[in-house]
């Protein structure tokens, strides 16, 4: 069950450090979570939601090395509740590239015909969503991050070495200018979990000035886009 924190200092204190990666036992649990996500149960079924999307446009940006297929359960559940939920349509997310805003912008323009849309970003996808909202604030009305490491040390996670290998640059020296901890000029909500085995909970929770709302979930990093309670909590902040 998700818990919404209105006291940002309490949330950050309980989330812990944003400067060290999660311990190995939590990382090991992610392997089981990933295996579950690869089963038909995680993709074939949708989650009943108690909110009405009323046609609200939402784009879900996948995490590092993930694609739209990985976020399909979340998107289809939102669609069944009346949201116009879309994938990002840019294939596998292999990191922040110099042309990322240009490519994402073309996709947003296709979807934002009736007005701005909400960006939901899982892990790395949340970083991209936050940064894009800073350069295209009139096309984005809200940003929701799911276990995204926008606060603290960029190496406070168990994926940075793989990221540097795939992306081809140091994690703290991307090809575009970014200030990850700087809050976008639109409403933001940061989901985090103390059971996250990939990203430090404190890094995904952030400081009080880095997001508008912080919500704790009881899930692994891989389950942010698949666990029923997580999907229900995400849907509630979209309306």
User: DSSP assignment of 18-34, as one string?
Assistant: SSSPPPHHHHHHHHHHH
63 vs 68: CA distance, rounded Å? 9
Q: How many CB atoms lie within 10 A of CB 175?
A: 14
Residue 18 banded pLDDT, cuts 50, 70, 90: low
Which residue has better confidence, 5 or 16?
A: 16
CATH no. of 3-42+55-238: 3.40.50.1820
Residue 25 banded pLDDT, cuts 50, 70, 90: confident
Residue 113: the pLDDT is: 86
Q: Is the predicted pLDDT of residue 197 greater than 50, yes or no?
A: yes
Strand order in 213-216's β-sheet?
3-5, 213-216, 188-192, 140-146, 117-122, 57-61, 84-87
Say whether 71 sits in a helix, a strand or coil. helix
- In this predicted model, what pLDDT tens digit does every residue of 58-117 receive, in sequence order? 999 999 999 999 999 999 999 999 999 999 999 999 999 999 999 999 999 999 888 999
Q: Which of 17-26, 30-39, 142-151 has the highest mean pLDDT?
A: 142-151
Q: In the block, which residue shows the tokens 């006291």?
A: 7
Number of residues that make up the chain: 239
Residue 32 banded pLDDT, cuts 50, 70, 90: confident
CB 223 within 8 A of CB 230: yes
Which residue has better confidence, 4 or 36?
A: 36
Q: Is the predicted pLDDT of residue 6 greater than 50, yes or no?
A: no
Residue 7: the pLDDT is: 44
What token pair was written down for 28? Answer: 């090991």
- Boundaries of every domain in the chain: 3-42+55-238
Q: Please state, for a pLDDT cut of 70, what percent of the chain lies above it.
A: 89
Q: What is the pTM of this model?
A: 0.91
- In this predicted model, what pLDDT tens digit does every residue of 139-163 receive, in sequence order? 999 999 999 999 999 999 999 999 9
- Residue 204's H or E segment, with its range, is helix 201-205
């Amino acid at each position: 069950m998700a818990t919404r924190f209105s006291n940002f200092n309490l949330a950050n204190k309980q989330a812990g450090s944003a400067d060290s990666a999660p311990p190995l036992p939590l990382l090991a649990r992610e392997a089981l979570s990933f295996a579950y996500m690869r089963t038909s149960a995680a993709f074939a079924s949708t989650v009943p939601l108690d909110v009405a999307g009323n046609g609200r446009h939402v784009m879900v940006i996948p995490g590092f090395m993930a694609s739209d297929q990985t976020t399909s359960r979340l998107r289809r559940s939102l669609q069944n509740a009346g949201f116009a939920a879309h994938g990002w349509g840019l294939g596998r997310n292999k990191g922040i590239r110099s042309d990322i805003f240009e490519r994402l912008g073309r996709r947003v323009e296709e979807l934002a015909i009736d007005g701005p849309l909400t960006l939901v970003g899982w892990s790395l996808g949340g970083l991209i969503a936050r940064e894009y909202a800073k350069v295209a604030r009139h096309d984005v009305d809200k940003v929701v991050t799911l276990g995204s490491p926008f606060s603290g040390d960029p190496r406070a996670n168990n994926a940075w070495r793989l990221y540097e290998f795939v992306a081809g640059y140091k994690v703290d020296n991307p090809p575009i200018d970014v200030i990850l901890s700087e809050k976008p000029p639109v409403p933001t909500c940061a989901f985090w979990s103390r059971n996250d085995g990939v990203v430090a909970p404190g890094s995904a929770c952030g400081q009080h000035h880095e997001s508008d709302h912080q919500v704790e979930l009881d899930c692994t990093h891989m389950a942010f886009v698949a666990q029923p309670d997580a999907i229900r909590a995400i849907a509630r902040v979209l309306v």
